[in-house]
Chains A and B, each alone.
Chain A
Amino acid sequence: MSKKKIWQPSNEPLHAGKQQLLLDLDDVTVELGGQKVLADINLCIHRGEFIGLIGPNGAGKTTLLRVMLGLLQPSKGRVDFADSTKVAYVPQRGAAMGGAVPVSVSEVVSMGSTDREAVSQALADVDLSELATKRFGELSGGQQQRVLIARALAGQAHMLILDEPTTGIDDATEIDFFNILKRLKKLGVTILMVSHDLEAVLEEAGRVICLNRRVLYDGLPQQFEVSSIGPICMRPSIGSCIINIRR
């Protein structure tokens, strides 16, 4: 018998009207090399949510993403997507793309769709139309993340999974980046973002999931700070749950 999900958006006024279930993880356990990397993960993700996934190094965040993306099969449990849900992934190290051989920005976005209009529109949506013919490898980290988001948009993704998207980008670029994510959220795109940047997650996300092989916290960002987990996490010297708290 499956456990009750921690997060119940139907009980939260903040999420009223956004209850269309997109992804359901039911008692997911992952073992790699005999080690339990994830244990009994129960999560429901609904259309239009903006979720920040946080946790210490080795907490299983990337493993959880890979399970959600279908790149890794759980040892136990089920991962169910709503019918015809399109998921796009924005990897942490987009810069690896086009290292040995150039690939243009428009070619990267075209991986999401063959429709040229959709590609142009997606580039316009992330304010990068003028860079369409540039080499992807020559862009800054922030611009590369936006190109990968454009690829997801061109492919009409319902859900965007981002792995540490703000690592190595400056504050101004980060603000632009979150503005784009907010625009996408308004369009109904579901966003799941792994981040070490606790302040950004608490500011931008509508829901916080704190993971350390198990789900330690799943709820509103405001309540996270006063929960039993939040204060520990916010003290890097003790908790080591969250790595980077900007001063």
Chain B
Amino acid sequence: MFELFQYEFMVRAMVAGILAAVMLPVLGSFLVARRYSLMADSLAHVSLAGIGLGLLVGSSPILWAVPVAIAGGIMLEHLRQSGRLSGENGLAVLMSGGLAIAVVLAGLAQNQSVNFASYLFGSITTTTWSDVLLLSGLAVIILGVVGFNYRQLVHMVFDEDGARIMGYRVQFLNYLLVSLAAVAVVLAMRVVGGLLIGALLVIPVLAASQLARSFRGTIWWSVVLGVLAVLGGLAVAFYAGLAAGGAIVLAALVLFGLALLLRP
């Protein structure tokens, strides 16, 4: 039954998946509370433009995707704060624009369609130990930054005006949250792919929201449910020969359904 543990690539996949399942829902809790559920998808689509650019110029796609995603996120936040575009409309523009640029750039890059598809749909089973190491370092940084700014971030996502009155640097906190999400989305893209990464950021949080009474409780529940979704999805994918990314997101959806039924 535990045959999957005998394969090193599956162990690597599980470790990478668990790391993603810890940091993505933590950031997702703040984004969903901020009513930015579509932010992850938008950032992922924008980062795909960076991936396409990397493939076109023939250098590391991830190194291109990170700054492109951060720039896209900060631009969106700037437009929202300046009142020129509502958050919802900005996300729609960012999402479609990012994906359109990505498709065009990837099309221009010769013989890179397989490579591009691995970022679109994920390739968790090809994760290397250096990928795992990178994800571990990032998870530590993200959890550290969130922990250090926890109180301010909580105040900001639930009551932005109140946070300003308290003297918190709301603009900086918004940019910080978006930037952390951008980096996390890009580096965790291999787990479920750019098209589905938003699901791993949002669905465990929505499921946790059904079960928890507090924001802190939501974060803990979302991490537990995220890890369960990754492990369950990987196991099903391994034994049933399914695509790992899709199986993980479907597992998360099953947990969401159960949470809806079990809501106290």
Contact = CB atoms under 8 A, between A and B. Distances in A.
Interface of A: 69-71, 87-89, 91, 97-104, 106-108, 110-111, 114, 133-135, 155
Nearest to B155: A111
Q: Main SS of the interface on chain B?
A: helix
Interface stretch (B11-19, B98-106, B205-213, B226-234): B205-213
B161 A69 contact: yes
A69 B214 contact: no
B185 to A, nearest CB: 19
Interface of B: 29, 32-33, 35, 37, 151, 154-155, 158-159, 161-162, 164-166, 205, 209, 212-218
A64 B212 CA distance: 38
Contacts of B33: 98, 100-101, 103
B158 A103 contact: yes
B165 A108 contact: no
B154 A111 contact: yes
B209 A102 contact: yes
A48 B46 CA distance: 53
Contacts, number: 71
B154 A107 contact: yes
A100 B154 contact: no
A102 B213 contact: yes
Given A88-B165, A101-B32, A103-B214, 15 more contacts: A69-B165, A70-B164, A71-B165, A89-B161, A97-B159, A101-B33, A101-B215, A102-B213, A102-B217, A103-B215, A107-B214, A107-B216, A111-B155, A111-B166, A135-B213
Nearest to B208: A101
| Best-surrounded residue of B35, B37, B213, B214 (most CB of chain A within 10 A) | B214
Give the 5 A-B residue pairs with the shortest CB-CB distance, closest first. Answer: A104-B214, A101-B33, A111-B155, A103-B215, A97-B158
Given A103-B214, A134-B213, A111 B162 contact: yes
Given A104-B215, A107-B216, A111-B155, A91 B161 contact: yes
